[in-house]
Structure 1
Amino acid sequence: MRIVVQVKLLPTPEEASALERTLHAANEAANWLSAEAYGQGEQSRKALQSFAYSDLKERGLSAQPALHVLRKVADAYTALRANIRAGNLGTPGSKRRRKAESQPLVFRLDAAQPYDDRCLSWQLDEQTISIWTVSGRMRGVRYVCSERSRRMLAGYRKGESDLVHRNGAWFLIATCEVSEAAQIDPVDFLGVDLGIVNIATTSDGKIHAGRRLNRYRRRQLALRAKLQKKGTKSAKRVLKRQRRKESRKATEANHIISKRIVTVAERTGRGIALEDLKGIRERARLRKPQRVALHSWAFAQLGQFVEYKARRAGIPVLFVDPAYTSRRCAECGHADKANRVSQARFVCRSCGVVAHADRNASRNIRARARELWRRGAESHAPAPA
């Protein structure tokens, strides 16, 4: 399976200037090629290489970077066509879709640029790299990373790495091919109920509360309202910085929770059962104050983190239908809207059992996963890329 490792580069001012000129040159070439591809209606890799390869080299790119620009533009148009087919840009004739179809794709001047082993080499012991730039090959560019990342690079790095310029800092994001463990035959399943008040609740009764993250998001919401009302350039800069900060905080929380869930499942020889919440934002009908919480909820990211961590450990993952899991009694099976007394309290109107609502739902999810597995369902964790 593929995972990525990010390292931070520590270039000198001269090296940083060369890297910046390189990114600008590559993306200016990509914008020129995008306009040509749009005008000629030729957007496949083969077609772009046939009429643009020589021109790209004349723009200061050597052979491999020119090929990477070709592939970047072709892949961007492939992704655009896929989004149009899937309806992600609206229906035919909609404003958003017309805008996407009426002009060539444009790349930011500091957009990431891919590198392969012909134009980038790693000296892992010295923690330096040698990298191609428009000013020539630069050797001995320093980088820093954790010891875990260093071991990952040494043992599993394979394929391309992306040069990224973000917030004034330089990074390389390397691709690593990590071997997977053989999938176990689970003795049971660990049901996981996802939510906003409690990010994740397991059928073992463990609650991963979202109180701290939700408080932080409410503070950020109030801060955004003040900055948007102010509307100055400095306020907009702070808005952009705070958005990234909030995203990183949610990502960190999801990494921690997913690791704990997978660790428990691995230790006890169980699979993991999650709710299939695809499309919930379109289905849910909420009051306006609740919409902000729903759209800030990174449940899809948490599911992805659980999937790839589980696949590395050989743990099967099943996604089950979430319908009525919060209303059905895990003891007797009676389903009734009135069973859900409040957000946290569940009282069965049939057998009288009293339970925490999220724990009850997670037990229903576990039961559905066991039944699916018994019928021969396969793990929904993604296949190796």
Structure 2
Amino acid sequence: MKIVTQVKLIPDAAQASALSATLRTVNEAANWVSEVAFAGDVPREYELRKHTYAELMTRGLGAQAAQHAIKKVRDAYTTLHANLRAGNLGQKGSKRRIKAASKPITFRPDAAQPYDDRCLSWQYDTRTVSIWTTQGRLKGVRFACSAGALKTLQQYRKGETDLIERDGVFYLIATCEVPEAAPYEPGGFTGVDLGIVNIATTSTGYQAAGRHLNRYRKQQRALRAKLQKKRTKSARRRLKERSRREQRHVKNTNHIIAKTIVTEAERTGRGLSLEELKGIRTRVRLRKPQRVALHSWAFAQLGDFIVYKARRAGVPLVFVDPAYSSKECAQCGHVDRLNRVLQAKFACRSCGVVAHADRNASRVLARRGEDAWTAGRESHAPATP
């Protein structure tokens, strides 16, 4: 299982200047390569290398840096074409699709640059790295990270590492291949119902209320709108300072929720039953005031966190169809639209059970998870005559 580990670089003034100049040089070169790829419609990385490699070397890039710049451009166009085929940038003829396909891809001056082991080496005992720059090899650049992150880097780091700059601070994001724990035989399943009012509700009683997070997001949206209306230099500076702050807050909240859910399942020897929510934004129709809440809700991120933490801990995991789970009674299985009396209240029209709507849905998901796990273990091969 691949995960990423982030460390913060602590360079001195000269080292910081060299790192900043390197990122700007390689991204300027990547923009030129992108123009060549767009103008010549070069479909393959090998062909693109023949047209650009020599020029990149004259621009001060090393051999490996030039290769990575070319590959970065080719990967960006591969992603763009995949999004166009999937319709993620609108239908044919739409303004968004035309805008994306009618000009070369550009890279920010501080966009990430990949490094391999020939351009970057780690000294874990001294917590320093040796890294290639356009001004020569920098040795002894200090980095900071937690003890757990350092242990993960030492044991499982494998593949490329990205150098990025955020608001003048440099980070290395390393790819680590962590082995998955062997899943145990579950003694039942815990259903996890994801929502907007309540971020996560489990069939065992845990509930992560989303009131604070939704209120925080509403405040951030109002503040952004207020600053954007000013259109002053100080307002733009404030907007830049607050960039990614909301994302970090939401990400930290999702990490805490996912860890709580997985830890409880591991402690009780149960598996996890999650909703299959891919494509929910295209399936669900909402009124205009509700669209902001849905599209800013990081349910995919929370689901991904639960999945990778469960796999690292060996917790069995199944995905089930969430259709009608909010209208089905966990007690008798009766499905009726009128069962959902209020957003938080469920009252079965058949057996009369009254429960919290999200708690009832999580119990329905738990039962579906057990059924899916049992069906997967049963043999459907014909009997031997």
Q: Which TM-score applies when normalising by structure 2?
A: 0.94
Q: Deviations over 1:103-154 (max 9, x none)?
A: 1111111111011111111111111111111111111111111111111111
Determine the C-alpha separation between the residues in 2 that align with 1:40 and 1:354.
66
1:81 shift after superposition: 1.1
Where in structure 2 are the equivalents of 1:307-322 lying within 5 Å?
307-322=307-322
SS in 2 for 1:330: coil
Aligned partners of 1:185, 1:233: CA distance in 2, in Å? Answer: 60
- Separation of aligned partners in 2, 1:243 and 1:197: 25
Partners of 1:260 and 1:162 in 2: CA distance = 30
Q: 308-317 or 16-25, which moves further after superposition?
A: 308-317
Q: Which amino acid aligns with 1:214?
A: N
Deviations 1:326-376 (A, max 9, x none): 111110111122211212111111111111111100000111111122221
Q: Which residue of 2 aligns with 1:194?
A: 194
Matches within 5 A, 1:1-385: 1-376=1-376
CA RMSD of aligned residues (A): 1.6
Query: Matched residue of 1:89: which SS?
Result: coil
Deviations 1:7-58 (A, max 9, x none): 1111111111111111111111111111111111113211112222222111
- For residue 255 of structure 1, what is the amino acid of its counterpart? H
Amino acid at match of 1:165: E
Counterpart in 2 of 1:381? none
CA shift, 1:160, in A, is: 1.0
- For residues 77 and 234 of structure 1, the distance between their equivalents in structure 2, rounded to whole angstroms, comes to 36
Structure 1: how far apart are the matches of 2:214 and 2:102? 41
Q: Tell which deviates more after alignment, 266-275 or 8-17.
A: 266-275
Deviations 1:157-198 (A, max 9, x none): 111111100011011111111111112232321100011111
Q: Residue type of the partner of 1:320?
A: V
2:191 aligned partner, one-letter code: G
- CA distance, structure 2, for counterparts of residue 2 and residue 166 of structure 1: 23
Counterpart Cα distance in 2 of 1:377 and 1:293: 39
Inter-CA distance 191–260: structure 2 relative to 1 (3 Å threshold): same
Return the alpha-carbon distance in structure 2 between the equivalents of residues 311 and 194 of structure 1.
Answer: 19
Amino acid across the alignment from 1:190: T
- Secondary structure at 2:172 match in 1: strand
1:197-254, CA deviations, whole angstroms, 9 ceiling, x for partnerless residues? 1110001121111122122122222222322222323223323433411111111111
Contiguous gaps of at least 5 residues in structure 2: 379-385
Secondary structure of the residue that 1:138 maps to in structure 2? strand
Amino acid paired to 1:6: Q
Q: CA deviation at 1:270?
A: 1.9
Rounded Cα–Cα distance in structure 2 between residues aligned with 1:218 and 1:40: 46
**One-letter identity of the residue aligned with 1:47:** E
Aligned residues: 378
Describe the SS at the equivalent of 2:311.
Answer: helix
In structure 2, C-alpha distance between the alignment counterparts of 1:284 and 1:230, rounded to whole Å: 35
Deviates further, 278-287 or 350-359 = 278-287
Structure 1 counterpart of 2:45, which letter?
A: R
**TM-score, L = length of structure 1:** 0.94
The letter for the 2-side match of 1:187 is: G
Superposed displacement of residue 263, structure 1: 1.0
- Structure 1 residue identity aligned to 2:370: R
Distance 1:57 1:132 in 2: 14
Paired with 1:238 and 1:296, the residues of 2 have a C-alpha distance of: 21
Q: Name the CA distance, whole Å, in 2 between partners of 1:227 and 1:337.
A: 43
Structure 1 counterpart of 2:208, which letter? H
CA distance in 2, matches of 1:293, 1:4: 28
Letter in 2 for 1:256: I
CA distances 1:39-91 after superposition (whole Å, capped 9, x unpaired): 11113211112222222111101111111111111111111111111111112
In the TM superposition, what whole-angstrom CA distance separates every residue of 1:278-328 from its partner, at most 9, and x where no partner exists? 222233333333222222211010011111111112223222111111111
The sequence identity of aligned pairs, in percent, is 63
Q: For 1:256 and 1:217, how far apart are their aligned partners in 2?
A: 18
Please state whether the residue corresponding to 2:242 is helix, strand or coil.
helix
